[in-house]
Amino acid sequence: MRNFFKLILIVLAIIIAIPVVFLTYATITAYNPDYKEVLEENTTSDLFADTAVIKLMSWNIGYCGLNAEMDFFYGGGKNVYPKVDVVMNNIRGVKRNLKNNEYVDFMLLQEVDESSLRSFHTNQVDTFINLFKGHHSTFAYNYKALFVPLPIHKPMGGAISGLQTLSRNTPIKATRYSFEGNFAWPKSLAMLNRCFMANRYAVSNGKELLVINSHNSAYDDGGLRKAQMQQIKAFVLSEYEKGNYIIIGADLNQSPPNFKNNFSKDIMDFDNVTYIDESFMPSGWTWLFDNKEPTNRRNSIPYTQGQTLTTVIDFYLLSPNIKSLSVRNLTDDFRYSDHQAVQATVQLIPEK
């Protein structure tokens, strides 16, 4: 009997020790970046004219795992990740779509996996670098989780992912800026370390063009999103005061101020919508978006046109010294991601 109770105590000790050891190791090795991390600096860079016309494409590719047939447990669905052949097909589809838009000056991509179980450890960062060998690539981590234990029946596992900017031009500097107020421990061990990445380019008038890639919080009560937007606002206003040009292309996980949809076939998600306040930015700043087609679908169920709730949360913000020429959401029925790409053309306004 004594040996039986001893065995029970040993088993209980092991059961208790496993999560303690894991949490300790995960905490020690956790990704805790500084607020400001210089990703690269270049002594020579390409020069933009102060009247340059710039073409951009922003797309959250959903780590090539959230195609139209997928639902997702974080969004209220049941699935965690698809089969490997589905991921590989999504990667091929994303590559085709990117290649079809090779002519743009900047590709701002979000949710690009470097090595994650959810995408079967495909290195999508290198895949896109190899796809555009004439382009310059910068990458900033916003997800480095040793192990995501949810859902219990099929844990999402390790996730290494981030933001990738592909450009025809070489930046002066590329910098990662951590968003403040991310989730508290221990939830932070399994959640994203959100950030925005700012690439600086020389302009012929001595100023700089900042192209900012961002992916703001989604799974919060709205407080994180507000704090992150305030942080971005302070940063871009400071840069604009220097005379610099600023373009933000992002998945902001919020709809533009006073957004009214004019979708041709899809229906608007009014159940789960957050709008940026119309007075958030000073006069002269431009929210550049297309209201004719959605950029995001609810992934609580697979996508069905005319039934799945959709919205616009992917768009651009331009400083007053940049004018918008066009913007268009590139519809593909969410074939390879739960987001659709947004293409825009803008022009720098020379100083008077």
**pLDDT band at 25; cut points 50, 70, 90:** very low
Same domain, 12 and 125: no
User: What confidence score (pLDDT) does residue 191 get?
Assistant: 64
User: What confidence score (pLDDT) does residue 46 get?
Assistant: 85
Task: Give the SS3 label for residue 317.
Answer: strand
Instruction: Report the C-alpha gap between 301 and 309 in whole angstroms.
Output: 10
User: What confidence score (pLDDT) does residue 9 get?
Assistant: 64
Instruction: Report the C-alpha gap between 305 and 265 in whole angstroms.
Output: 7
Instruction: Report the C-alpha gap between 344 and 329 in whole angstroms.
Output: 9
CB atoms within 10 A of CB 14: 9
Same domain, 96 and 209: yes
Same domain, 42 and 177: yes
User: What confidence score (pLDDT) does residue 140 get?
Assistant: 98
User: What confidence score (pLDDT) does residue 15 get?
Assistant: 62
Same domain, 246 and 191: yes
Q: What angle do CA 133, 138, 140 make, to 5 degrees?
A: 140
* CATH number, domain with residue 116: 3.60.10.10
Cβ neighbours for 158, distance < 8 A, ≥ 6 positions apart: 115, 116, 117, 145, 146, 147, 148
Same domain, 180 and 295: yes
Task: Give the SS3 label for residue 163.
Answer: strand
Same domain, 119 and 153: yes
Same domain, 58 and 26: no
Q: Cβ(169)–Cβ(150) under 8 Å?
A: no
Q: How many domains does the chain have?
A: 2
User: What confidence score (pLDDT) does residue 151 get?
Assistant: 83
Mean pLDDT of 41-46: 87
Give the model confidence (pLDDT) of 260-278 as tens digits: 999 999 999 998 899 999 9
Boundaries of domain holding 65: 34-348
**pLDDT band at 21; cut points 50, 70, 90:** very low
DSSP element (H, E) containing 231:
helix 223-241
Q: Is a pLDDT exceeding 90 seen at residue 146?
A: no
Give the model confidence (pLDDT) of 159-215 as tens digits: 999 999 999 999 999 999 999 866 665 555 556 789 999 999 999 999 999 999 999
- Above pLDDT 70, what percent of the chain? 88
- Tell the burial category of 20 from Cβ atoms under 10 Å away from its Cβ (0-12, 13-18, 19+): exposed
Same domain, 125 and 155: yes
Q: Where are the beta strands (DSSP E) in 195-277?
A: 195-203, 208-215, 245-251, 267-268
Same domain, 19 and 122: no
Structural tokens at position 93: 């589809």
Same domain, 10 and 133: no
Mean pLDDT of 285-290: 98
